[in-house]
C-alpha cells in the first residue's frame, strides 16, 4: 500500500491517494480546488488505474477539482453519500455562499455509498462509515487491516469540523466522533485539514473529542 497526499485550495484541504501498488489500482479521496494535479500525474507516471474519486462529503473544498480528475481519468467513478449528493449537483449554492473566485461544474455521482458498505482498492478492503454532523451525508473510509481512517472533516487534528452550516448538527457530530473513537487507538487519521495524526493522539489531546466522549 502507498499513501500520497497533497494540500491546497482556498481552504487548505487535504487530498489523499491510496494505492495497492501490487495490483496497480488507486483511489483519490477528496479533490480540493487547484490541488489534485500532482497526485494525478503520479497515478499516470506509475501506470496505475484510478478507480475513482471517493468523497467524504459535499462541501466545495472537497470536490471542486472533480472535473480535473475525470478529464484525466474518464473511467474514475465519483462516490458520495446520497444525503450530500445534492451539493455536488448544485455547486453554485456554495460558490455564492462563500464568494468563491472560481466556478465548479455540477456533477451527478456515479454511486451513492451507504453505511458499512465494503469497497476495495485492489486487495485493500475499505469500510464506509456514515459519520454525519459536519454535513448530513459525511462519511469516513476505514481500512481495517491497515488501520487507516480517511476521516474528512469529522476530526481535524486537534479540532473538529464546524457545525454552523445549513445541514450541520453538533449532536450528530459528537455521536460520530464516539463511533470512530471505538476503532483502535493506533489507527492513523487522515483528516480533511491539518497533519496526519492517530485516534489515540486525538483522544489524549483534542479537547473537542474529549467533550464528545464525556457527553456519550
Per-residue model confidence as pLDDT tens digits over 42-87: 999 999 999 999 999 999 999 999 999 999 999 999 999 999 999 9
Residue 112's DSSP bridge partners are: 80
What is the average per-residue pLDDT within 133-148? 98
Give the residues across from 190 on adjacent strands. Answer: 150
Give residue 13's pLDDT band: very low, low, confident or very high (50, 70, 90). Answer: very high
- Residue 166: how many other CB atoms lie within 10 Å: 8
User: At 150, is the pLDDT very low, low, confident or very high (cuts 50, 70, 90)?
Assistant: very high
Question: Dihedral, CA atoms, 8, 10, 14, 16, nearest 10 degrees?
Answer: -70
Q: What is the pLDDT of residues 178-195, one digit of tens each?
A: 999 999 999 999 999 999
- pTM for the full predicted model: 0.96
User: Which domains are assigned to the chain?
Assistant: 2-214 (3.60.15.10)
Q: How confident is the model at residue 2 (pLDDT cuts 50, 70, 90)?
A: very high
> What's the pLDDT band for 168 if we cut at 50, 70, 90?
very high
Q: How many CA atoms lie within 13 A of 43 on its CB side?
A: 25
Look at the block and give the residue holding cell 487491516. Answer: 145
- Average confidence (pLDDT) over 152-166: 94
Amino acid at each position: 500500500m502507498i499513501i500520497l497526499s497533497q494540500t491546497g485550495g482556498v481552504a487548505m484541504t487535504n487530498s489523499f491517494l491510496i494505492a495497492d501498488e501490487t495490483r496497480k489500482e488507486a483511489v483519490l479521496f477528496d479533490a480540493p480546488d487547484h490541488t489534485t494535479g500532482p497526485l494525478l500525474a503520479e497515478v499516470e507516471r506509475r501506470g496505475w488505474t484510478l478507480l475513482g474519486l471517493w468523497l467524504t462529503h459535499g462541501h466545495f473544498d472537497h470536490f471542486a477539482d472533480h472535473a480535473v480528475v475525470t478529464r484525466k481519468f474518464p473511467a474514475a467513478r465519483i462516490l458520495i453519500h446520497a444525503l450530500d449528493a445534492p451539493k455536488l449537483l448544485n455547486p453554485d449554492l456554495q460558490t455564492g455562499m462563500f464568494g468563491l473566485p472560481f466556478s465548479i461544474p455540477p456533477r451527478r455521482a456515479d454511486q451513492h455509498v451507504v453505511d458499512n458498505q465494503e469497497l476495495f482498492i485492489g486487495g485493500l478492503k475499505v469500510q464506509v462509515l456514515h459519520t454525519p454532523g459536519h454535513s448530513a451525508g459525511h462519511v469516513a473510509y476505514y481500512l481495517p487491516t491497515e488501520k487507516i481512517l480517511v476521516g474528512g472533516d469529522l476530526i481535524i487534528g486537534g479540532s473538529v469540523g464546524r457545525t454552523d452550516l445549513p445541514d450541520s448538527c453538533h449532536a450528530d457530530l459528537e455521536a460520530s466522533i464516539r463511533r470512530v473513537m471505538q476503532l483502535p487507538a493506533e489507527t492513523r487519521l487522515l483528516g480533511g485539514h491539518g497533519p496526519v495524526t492517530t485516534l489515540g493522539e486525538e483522544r489524549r489531546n483534542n479537547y473537542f473529542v474529549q467533550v464528545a466522549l464525556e457527553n456519550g
